[in-house]
Structure 1
Amino acid sequence: MTYVKYQIMHGERKVASIDTQGRCTVFDQDFMPYNLYLEDGGEELDTFINNLANFYFWCASRVLTLDREYAKELLNSIGATQASTDKERAQVALSYHCLSLTDIYWVKREEEKITFREINLFENHLSNAFVDVALRGRQMTIENSHLIADDLSTNGSFPKAWLRKNNTFWLLKDGGSLAVENEILASKICQCNQVVYSEKLFDGTLVSCSKIMTSLKYSLVSREAFEVFALNQNMNALDYILELDGYSYYMMNILDYLIGNTDRHWGNWGLLVRNSDNQPERLYDLMDFNKAFSAYDRIEGANCLTTDSKKCTQKEAALAAVEKVGLNQVAKVKKEWFSGREEIYERFLERLKLLENHLPK
């Protein structure tokens, strides 16, 4: 039986190799993906099975957000009618070298003579990555088309698209006019290390628009991915985060309470990592506000998803955060931003007043 051997790359750096039998070698542990654990040097069957399962799971998490028509052509080109298992989704990602706009990791077969500079999405068209896949149907490039979340993507429930313009990427998000309005309103309020969202018309539909956070210099590591790393290192992830950037963590809890954001799951916040040494610099800018002003009918808000406690409301997390860092309001929130949504405005003021009254004397 012939086995395929893959190389896991970080930019131009080879960090590990693994074959389809599960045998692997880690060349540079410091530059391994945070959410990929491989055990090399072993000869146990269970080790090989776990290595391969972990590798496929990691690849599957890197499936690009794809347009429905484009996804169909891609699946046809690799002989798959659907992508429902980790292995099937991994094959989709491997067909374009597991490239992502989140970081600079990618995968190639050992015999391939190709460089990151030739195929990375920050500098090249997506079509450059398909060196061994003959796509049928329309040929998409990021330069003049877009990639939009659909059947192949699990990254969020709202339709979204990456649009390349003026040598950078812009994220367009739909989900209905109310979700778009909520995201833009929340963005006006949360002027604190956050992604700025603005209105844009795309194909006649109102969407929110924001600039990409990643680049050849910086990557994102989600809280979920960092938890995998922390568990394998026998460390407490939240303790590390608080020591690294406690201020941003506490402000996140304050802002999410004020705007009623109920979607701060572990995939929606995390660490900004330097590509030069693969080390965290701080929490990355707050993003995803299209579920703002939810659970807004009760002063406690929803359950807080960012703490280790399983029984902590957003109100409790925000009050604890105010005790740590204060409220740090820099300007008045304008009533006209709420554009006729007086009830929402009044509830926002109620939450703001509650936090103001809790400020240390």
Structure 2
Amino acid sequence: MQMKKEIHTPELTTLGASAKGWIRHSDGLYLHKVGKYEIPASRVLSALDIRHISYQVSDNEDIDLYLSEERKQWIAGVGEAIVNSKLFTTEDIAMVTFEEFKIFCEAYELNPFEEAVKIDRTAYLQMQIADYILNNNDRHEQNWGFFMDNESGKIIGYCPLFDHDHAFSDYSGVLSQTTEKDITLFDAAVNAQRELRTDISELNSMKCPEFLTEEQWEQLLERAGMIGGQDI
């Protein structure tokens, strides 16, 4: 039997620049990647009650399956970590990226942003709030999307938010990548918070999460405070 050298499934050929790979356990497939900031992002989004993919630090037993000791030392030396999350698609439910959704909408002369809001307005607005508070500059069109029922081909809701290893930057005035107009993450979040009134008080009782500096945490709390008032 001839082995195929190329695999053409989204679940096994994950896109993106970060080093990553899949490990199968008895309860499913887990994506392991270099990306320490997934850990504090998960904690913050849990506190905000915003749906997201949960990450945890990979244990040595898994890491030893694919990394040499030299490589492990290099990753630790640059202050990074290997983290993992469970595959969130199934044989019945697939993910459709916004990039793919946009192509479909444009083929039928539909506005993809307006259609995205129609699918779940709350989830769309929560994404604006999450990206500003996390100062996430990597929500490109392959980093958000929707669940699709494979049998019917129908969109059935938003995917939980994922891929936050480029969050917590100290850049100000980051532009939103999920809005039709060119506006900043701050402006998009302000517009969303006017409607949702997301409770951010839980953040104030949290300690600085693992992998964040105290300065990064203070900057996050400052951003949260900027949109947290009730009279924006």
TM range (shorter): 0.7 to 0.9
* 1:277-296 correspondence to structure 2 within 5 Å: 277-294=152-169, 296=170
TM-score by length of 2: 0.82
Structure 1 match to 2:117? 242
Give the length in aligned residue pairs. Answer: 209
Q: Tell me the amino acid that sits aligned with residue 317 of structure 1.
A: A
Structure 1 match to 2:24? 164
1:266 aligns with 2:137: no
State the Cα deviation string for residues 113-162 of structure 1 (Å, max 9, x = none): xxxxxxxxxxxxxxxxxxxxxxxxxxxxxxxxxx6x6xxx7x10001111
Q: 8 Å contact 1:272–1:280 — kept in the other structure?
A: yes
Tell me which of 33, 37, 52 is aligned to 1:194: 52
Q: Tell me the amino acid that sits aligned with residue 308 of structure 1.
A: E
Q: Tell me the amino acid that sits aligned with residue 16 of structure 2.
A: G
For the residue of structure 2 that corresponds to 1:173, the secondary structure is strand
Over 3 Å counting, the alpha-carbon distance change for 1:306 and 1:183 in structure 2 is: same
* Separation in 2, partners of 1:332, 1:343: 15
Tell me which of 217, 220, 225 is aligned to 1:348: 220
1:321 aligns with 2:179: no
For the residue of structure 2 that corresponds to 1:241, the secondary structure is helix
* Separation in 1, partners of 2:133, 2:199: 13
Ranges of 4+ aligned residues in structure 1 off by more than 6 Å: none
For the residue of structure 2 that corresponds to 1:190, the secondary structure is helix
* Separation in 2, partners of 1:197, 1:268: 16
Q: 8 Å contact 2:200–2:224 — kept in the other structure?
A: no
Over 3 Å counting, the alpha-carbon distance change for 1:100 and 1:337 in structure 2 is: closer
Structure 2 match to 1:135? none
* Separation in 2, partners of 1:156, 1:339: 21
Cα distance, 1:270 vs structure 2: 0.6
Over 3 Å counting, the alpha-carbon distance change for 1:168 and 1:339 in structure 2 is: closer
Q: Tell me the amino acid that sits aligned with residue 209 of structure 2.
A: W
Cα distance, 1:339 vs structure 2: 6.1
Q: 8 Å contact 2:175–2:185 — kept in the other structure?
A: yes
Over 3 Å counting, the alpha-carbon distance change for 1:235 and 1:167 in structure 2 is: same
TM-score by length of 1: 0.54
For the residue of structure 2 that corresponds to 1:163, the secondary structure is strand
* Separation in 1, partners of 2:212, 2:139: 27
1:335 aligns with 2:207: yes
State the Cα deviation string for residues 75-112 of structure 1 (Å, max 9, x = none): 5xxxxxxxxxxxxxxxx45xxxx3442xxxxxxxxxxx
Q: Tell me the amino acid that sits aligned with residue 31 of structure 2.
A: L
Q: Tell me the amino acid that sits aligned with residue 324 of structure 1.
A: E
* Separation in 1, partners of 2:231, 2:212: 34
What 5-or-longer segments of structure 1 have no aligned partner? 1-72, 76-91, 102-146, 175-179
Structure 1 match to 2:86? 211
Over 3 Å counting, the alpha-carbon distance change for 1:208 and 1:338 in structure 2 is: closer
Q: What's the Cα RMSD here? A: 2.1
* Separation in 2, partners of 1:213, 1:282: 13
Structure 1 match to 2:131? 256
State the Cα deviation string for residues 260-287 of structure 1 (Å, max 9, x = none): 1110000000111112311111110100
Q: What is the identity percentage for the equivalent residue pairs of Structure 1 and Structure 2?
A: 25
* Separation in 2, partners of 1:340, 1:288: 16
